[in-house]
Amino acid sequence: MSDSNTTLRLLFPQWQGGNNPPYHLGAQLLAWLAPANDGPVEQVDVDAPTDAPLLMENGIVGRAALLRQLDSARAIIERHQPERIAVLGGDCLVDLAPFAYLNQHYQGDLAVLWIDAHPDVMTPHDFEHAHAMVLGNLLGQGDADFTAAVSLPLLPQQVMYAGLQQTTGVETQFIERLGLHAIGPAAMAEGSAPVLDWLKETGARHVAIHLDLDVLDPALFRSVLFAQPDAPAGAFDGVAQGKASMAQVLRLISDVAHAADVVGLGIAEHLPWDAVALKRMLAQLPLLSPPRTTALQAIHSRS
């Protein structure tokens, strides 16, 4: 069981990794919803979303901001030197610095369970959004500036996917080349045995768990990308969507927590569409929105 006094809770409302501004609010809502703790809490300084488009830099959208925020997260973690880290994000890239630290801290005695519908092993040659590159970076693959944050890369046998859906050709080649373990949503629904067997095979005493909320079925949980209410018809055709229920995810994580010491937990990609819409509406209501100067008021103010 985790000791909250040695657990750093890291609020990381990063949105540039997927170029999706609602991640910023999503992370803050996760922090509000999470149970209170008596350990240290830090927030990574993240630029608030604006109307200005993010720049494409060396094949990665928002590269400069992402590297700056990565350095900030690393500095916070190094200052605390925690035994455990809980991350409330933000896009999936938020787990790069925490999981890299944990693998170094435990000298490779770490298993990483990646609960996600997607493998997150793209490179800038394949895709422009860095949130889809994070696990590849942790394995020492991909953009050199991001992998530089990983002093001790994960070994393939340290990693297992749960809930993984169909993958693209590039992703499939990566997974097969490294021999990464994986189960899909059907096997995940049946029970935790494949994951527990893998965990035992690793011999690791510690485990870090990445939970991308898009592993959840959008018909059951609506605060994910694929439930975006104003998305054009067919916007997500051909893109893997989660099939798991909250009960299945909670059962798996609970079983893993009984088998090993959970030292890392990252929760990412919370997109609270209803809260986003409500926030926009509240900003336009009288008595709540900032006062606006009417044309008549402007004339009187100049007289």
Residue 167's pLDDT is 92
Residue 296's pLDDT is 57
pTM of the model: 0.94
**Can you give the pLDDT of all 303 residues of the chain as single tens digits?**
446 668 999 999 999 999 999 999 999 999 999 999 999 999 999 999 999 999 999 999 999 999 999 999 999 999 999 999 999 999 999 999 999 999 999 999 999 999 999 999 999 999 999 999 999 999 999 999 999 999 999 999 999 999 999 899 999 999 999 999 999 999 999 999 999 999 999 999 999 999 999 999 999 999 999 999 999 999 999 898 999 999 999 999 999 999 999 999 999 999 999 999 999 999 999 999 877 655 556 565 565
Angle at 13 between CA 256 and CA 4, to 5 degrees: 45
Residue 40's pLDDT is 97
Residue 2's pLDDT is 47
In whole angstroms, give the CA distance from residue 238 to residue 221: 20
> By the 8 A CB rule, do 225 and 269 touch?
yes
Domain ranges of the chain: 4-302
Residue 238's pLDDT is 87
In whole angstroms, give the CA distance from residue 293 to residue 289: 12
In whole angstroms, give the CA distance from residue 179 to residue 159: 10
What's the CATH fold of domain 4-302?
Answer: Arginase; Chain A (3.40.800)
